[in-house]
Chains A and B, each alone.
Chain A
Amino acid sequence: MIRAALSFGTAVTLLAALGALVGCAAGNGAPGSPTMAKIRERGRLVCAVDGAVPGFSTVGPGGAFVGIDADFCRAVAAAVLGDPGKVEFRPVTAGERFVALSSGEVDLLSISSTHTLSRDAPGGNGLSFGPVFFYDGQGVMVPKASGIRSLRQLAGQPICVESGTNTELNLADRMRELGLAYQPLRFQSGEQAYPAYEQGRCAAITSDSSLLAAKRSGFKDPGAHGLLPELLSKEPSAKVTVQADPAWADAVRWVTYTLIQAEESGLTQANIEASRDAAQADTSQAEARRFLGIKGDFGRQLGLPADFTLQVVKAVGNYGELFERHLGPATPLGLERGFNRLWSRGGLHIAPPFR
């Protein structure tokens, strides 16, 4: 009798856990954006970041999150709530990020997440990807002293990789193409994978090149590690929201475009308010007046305040400023703009017209 009651109790608990798991997904499908309504009601944006990648998102000396991904969260908070400080950062691992999003635990993923078909499609993960925020490729890092200069030399060697990532699949594909046996050492998160690599457990570690550079900047001896010349894949990463809320996805998409358009128009954190004042006085600056919400109702169409572009750039600067501040040559990461330049300067970033 007691045993029956126990197993019954266990079953109820299991069901309750499952119910809780999916219960949070309820409440979609209302007109407008339920996510934005939730954010306004709560008074803050819940934004998922990795939290352990220098340049992208780490906890800074003052205890606040710093990095380009963290600043993107602030830009969205500035657009929706008018205050970049109203963000609750939620560090999640690569393996749990999509569940955190689709369960409604977080409003937005601001983590390097490669846009792929199966993640996007309704029959796959069913997520909604914004425009590409960062163009990257998968690289392989090795200790310089090992003398390894190409993938082929890694035959039979242990290679560290974060589980649940694209890089894990790309690595398997490429090694199969090359017909090389290897030992994948799969770690749940970078907090385990990179120390294991640094301690010499693996001959190499693979991830997005920018992440490798970021992690390397935190090593005891960053100069002792180098990237192999070959790239395993293209990794265009984007900000992710749930597919069930297209209005929210649009808002996040146009925040990204705002950052890019601001750089193209030469609007910076420092000059945007002066530019707005100038455009207000001068009716001939039609494009600037549209972009800054002086004319037209783009903000309302997106469900955002009329001056959301101004708020975004005032809070974090334009895309170029973000890149220079967190990833560029003046930072420990020292990344080149490369593909991440504007289309007008030979790069791949382009914002559709604000019309």
Chain B
Amino acid sequence: MAPVPPAKPTPSSLPAPKPPWWRDRRVVPWVVQAVVGLLVLLLIAFLLGNLIRNLTAAGLLLSWRWLQQPAGFDISESVIPFNAQLPYWRALAAGLVNTIRAVLVGLVGATLMGCLVGMASFSHNGLLRRLARVYVEVVRNIPLLLQLVFWYFVVFLTLPNGVAAIQLPGVVLAKSGLYIAGLGEGLRWMGPTLVNGVWQAPVRLSVEFGALLTGLIVYSGAFIAEVVRGGIAAVPKGQWEAASSLGLSWFATLRRIVLPQSLRVIVPGLNTQYISLAKNSSLAVAVGYTDLYSVAETTLNQTGRAVEVILVLLAAYLTLDLLISALMNGLNHLVQIRER
């Protein structure tokens, strides 16, 4: 008589067997995270160790005493007072202020440019619409460095100089810069005057600053125009139709109905463009504008403190970008639709 095989228990009648730990959903994520975390820590330890070992070997351990030494070079276009006898940290500060100046004006200009062009791409005027497309496609597909060099050497440096400069009441545009009338010494109103072949005026912007600014505004403006266009396109067509059935004009529709609703789409994209603009401003060295990067490069060369100077640069640009990001996140919070 053949032995009767034991009856197989039905699966449901048994408690589920405990899976091995490597298949346990409660364990695996922890293990993976711990391993990855450990690897990252090891990598950091290795890099830091390598840094310190090599710097020690080269006799270049981090030192910040050079910040107090006199810089020895001049900066022609400093907003804060500066001369060659002041220490390096003052030179770096002057460079940073120059960078911030270019970034701030650039942000405002690029935003205006971008909004106008973005709006124009929804215009009823076909010519305007196509012009906006051509501008965006041409500008955003050419490297910024090339554009800066173009603005500086081809446009600004071909301006006439001295007596031949372009003169309007209160404003003079010459090869050396833009001169604007303002309150001069003794709070007297002063217009641009030619002294010893050089224009003088209370408000003076160099062509280097002009070329950098033009380049940044035109370049970032094209990207912002696309962000604005995307934002406007995201507003449902019904909104346009409803506004027009109420008798609102194209511009009034855009301003009162569409743009406010598109802001929540535009602002996050704008944040990215603003950050790029701040970083792109370091291309100023190509057109002779003395910004933070330019000062840092000379400092690095004179002092030989490559790691320290690069750290200062990294920290400065990181802080600037994080500030812009924080402000834009705040703005983003404001323009989101709030459920009531």
The chain A residues found within 8 Å of chain B, CB to CB, are 8, 12, 14-16, 18-19, 21-23, 25-26, 28-29, 94-96, 98-99, 102-103, 118-119, 122, 124-126, 155-158, 160, 163-165, 168-169, 171-173, 175-176, 182-188, 192-193, 195-196, 199-201, 244
Q: A126-B304, A186-B294 are in contact. Are A8 and B40 (CB under 8 A)?
A: yes
Indicate if the CB atoms of B297 and A95 lie closer than 8 Å.
Answer: yes
Indicate if the CB atoms of A201 and B207 lie closer than 8 Å.
Answer: yes
Q: Report B-chain residues with C-beta under 8 Å of the C-beta of A21.
A: 306-307, 310
- Name the residue in A15, A103, A160, A201 with the highest tally of chain B Cβ atoms < 10 Å from its Cβ: A201
Give the distance to chain A from B148, nearest Cβ to Cβ, in Å. 10
Give the distance to chain A from B226, nearest Cβ to Cβ, in Å. 24
Name the one of B40, B207, B302 contacting A169, with C-beta atoms under 8 angstroms.
B302
Give the distance to chain B from A56, nearest Cβ to Cβ, in Å. 19
A96 to B310, CA, bound (A): 13
The stretch of B46-54, B112-120, B268-276 that contacts the partner chain: B46-54
Q: Report B-chain residues with C-beta under 8 Å of the C-beta of A182.
A: 74, 76
Q: Which residue of A lies closest to B48 (CB)?
A: A15
Give the distance to chain B from A41, nearest Cβ to Cβ, in Å. 20
Name the one of B53, B83, B198, B294 contacting A157, with C-beta atoms under 8 angstroms.
B198
Q: Which residue of A lies closest to B300 (CB)?
A: A99
Name the one of A98, A155, A195 contacting B301, with C-beta atoms under 8 angstroms.
A98
18 pairs from A and B in contact (CB 8 Å cutoff): A19-B47, A22-B54, A98-B301, A98-B304, A102-B306, A124-B304, A157-B198, A163-B285, A165-B301, A168-B73, A169-B84, A173-B84, A185-B76, A186-B75, A192-B286, A196-B152, A196-B288, A200-B175
Q: Report A-chain residues with C-beta under 8 Å of the C-beta of B157.
A: 196, 199-201
Q: Which are the 6 A-B pairs with shortest beta-carbon distances?
A: A125-B304, A164-B301, A19-B47, A183-B76, A172-B84, A199-B157
A188 to B84, CA, bound (A): 19
Q: Report B-chain residues with C-beta under 8 Å of the C-beta of A172.
A: 72-74, 84
A200 to B159, CA, bound (A): 10
Q: A19-B47, A183-B76 are in contact. Are A188 and B285 (CB under 8 A)?
A: yes
- The number of inter-chain residue pairs (CB within 8 angstroms) is 150
A contact patch SS: mixed
Name the one of A26, A118, A193 contacting B302, with C-beta atoms under 8 angstroms.
A118
Indicate if the CB atoms of A156 and B207 lie closer than 8 Å.
Answer: no
Q: Which residue of A lies closest to B198 (CB)?
A: A156
Q: Report B-chain residues with C-beta under 8 Å of the C-beta of A155.
A: 196
Indicate if the CB atoms of A164 and B303 lie closer than 8 Å.
Answer: no
Q: Would you call B252 an interface residue if the criterion is a C-beta within 8 Å of the partner chain's C-beta atoms?
A: no
Q: Report B-chain residues with C-beta under 8 Å of the C-beta of A196.
A: 152-153, 157, 288
Q: Would you call B158 an interface residue if the criterion is a C-beta within 8 Å of the partner chain's C-beta atoms?
A: yes
Which positions 285-302 of chain B face chain A at CB distance < 8 Å?
285-288, 290, 294, 297-298, 300-302
Q: A156-B196, A158-B176, A172-B74 are in contact. Are A26 and B57 (CB under 8 A)?
A: yes
Indicate if the CB atoms of B302 and A164 lie closer than 8 Å.
Answer: yes
A16 to B55, CA, bound (A): 15
Q: Would you call B183 an interface residue if the criterion is a C-beta within 8 Å of the partner chain's C-beta atoms?
A: no
A125 to B59, CA, bound (A): 10
Binary contact track B206-228/A, C-beta < 8 Å → 1, others 0? 01100000000000000000000
Q: Report A-chain residues with C-beta under 8 Å of the C-beta of B54.
A: 22-23, 25-26
Indicate if the CB atoms of A14 and B314 lie closer than 8 Å.
Answer: yes
A291 to B265, CA, bound (A): 78
Name the one of A18, A28, A164, A199 contacting B158, with C-beta atoms under 8 angstroms.
A199
Q: Report B-chain residues with C-beta under 8 Å of the C-beta of A168.
A: 73, 298
Q: Would you call B2 an interface residue if the criterion is a C-beta within 8 Å of the partner chain's C-beta atoms?
A: no
Which positions 152-194 of chain B face chain A at CB distance < 8 Å?
152-153, 157-158, 161, 175-176
Indicate if the CB atoms of B302 and A185 lie closer than 8 Å.
Answer: no
Q: Report B-chain residues with C-beta under 8 Å of the C-beta of A118.
A: 302-304
Indicate if the CB atoms of B84 and A22 lie closer than 8 Å.
Answer: no
Q: Which residue of B lies closest to A155 (CB)?
A: B196
A244 to B56, CA, bound (A): 12
Q: Would you call B58 an interface residue if the criterion is a C-beta within 8 Å of the partner chain's C-beta atoms?
A: yes
Q: Report A-chain residues with C-beta under 8 Å of the C-beta of B46.
A: 19
Q: Would you call B142 an interface residue if the criterion is a C-beta within 8 Å of the partner chain's C-beta atoms?
A: no
Q: Report A-chain residues with C-beta under 8 Å of the C-beta of B300.
A: 95, 99, 164
Name the one of A29, A169, A186 contacting B290, with C-beta atoms under 8 angstroms.
A186
Q: Report B-chain residues with C-beta under 8 Å of the C-beta of A122.
A: 59
Q: A23-B54, A169-B73, A201-B176 are in contact. Are A15 and B44 (CB under 8 A)?
A: yes
Indicate if the CB atoms of A163 and B158 lie closer than 8 Å.
Answer: no
A187 to B153, CA, bound (A): 13
Q: Would you call B195 an interface residue if the criterion is a C-beta within 8 Å of the partner chain's C-beta atoms?
A: yes
A207 to B59, CA, bound (A): 32
Name the one of A8, A22, A119, A164 contacting B307, with C-beta atoms under 8 angstroms.
A22
Q: Would you call B60 an interface residue if the criterion is a C-beta within 8 Å of the partner chain's C-beta atoms?
A: yes
A124 to B305, CA, bound (A): 8
Q: Would you call B323 an interface residue if the criterion is a C-beta within 8 Å of the partner chain's C-beta atoms?
A: no
